[in-house]
Chains A and B, each alone.
Chain A
Amino acid sequence: MRVKKITPATFVLWILVCIVVNFFAFAPRFSDPLAGFFGFGRGLDLLLVLGYALLVYAIFRLYIKIDELNRNTTELVRELAIRNEIKLEDIDNEEE
């Protein structure tokens, strides 16, 4: 059984992302030099592009996750089907 918990490193990373995003949200002009470094005119543009990239990545991850869930469900349904192969005796016993 695989229990996946968030690692301390990931936790710290998300906290940092939260702090940085909130900081730039309240003080957008501080993001301008950073945006200039990446070739964007405004900090907001950089933020939008980063946000878009993050969303695309999130959708991709979700797709993979849903696919994995689908596969697991199929495996489960298959196992159930094979274990419960239909036997005439069982049906007749139920009917009695």
Chain B
Amino acid sequence: MSETFRNRLLLLVALALAAVYLFPLYWMYITALKTGSEMFRTPPSFWPDEPQWAIFPFVFQLKGMAQFLWNSVVIASGSVALIACLGTGAAYVLARYRNVWVDVGLFLVLMLQVLPASLMITPIFVLFTLTGLLDFPRTAVVLAIAAKSMPFFIVLVRATFMSVPMELEEAALVDGNSRAGAFWSIVLPLARNGILVSAILIFMQAFGEFVYSKSLIQEIELQPSSVGLNAFMGPNTNEWNRIMAFASIYVTPILATFVLLQRRIVSGLTSGALK
């Protein structure tokens, strides 16, 4: 088997896998563009006869998506801000100090990541009810997401900090800076890429978060898009094209961000985003 033939075969396999993986996405977009009758046709059509572009502004208006998307952005930004502030400090400490307590801390952080949201929601709900936090539902969701996603952020950013040589910090100390000053002017700029990439990943996770938002937010006008989309579907739903239009409007910005930043994200995940 020649080199080129093998490469072509592997490319073919990769394309086939990508097609399988991306099929639902493709189906979402074309279903949104189909008319009601075309949607239920058998055999199904793989390209809409008359693309219904008007469905996007229609659904956007009908469902008040501006408010849903705004709530998603508020919740995701709040979570990222909280996680980045607390998580960066925690990751730095876990990266720079080596002793039994740090190992125990790291173990607990990793343990937290294992617990599923659906398991955690009941105790969180009870706790937030008791403390009155449910009166501020979006804040409550931000806190819950921060608790859930912080470990992931800490693990990623810790790796980034570990790739910044200790000697650079020591040079800054000898050059006359304080520990905090050295952190701000030397370590943080060098770890910036890794932190940014981790923050973007957290943002995307939080943007699509469902379990906590669904459970903690009762008022429709405070719910994020994920919950709004869910409310669209009932036992007798047949408006698949509208649901898919909603979904398209919801995920397209996230997809676009990922495609634009994917090079940095991938390098950030693998190399600690340095150099």
Do the two shown chains form a genuine complex with each other? no
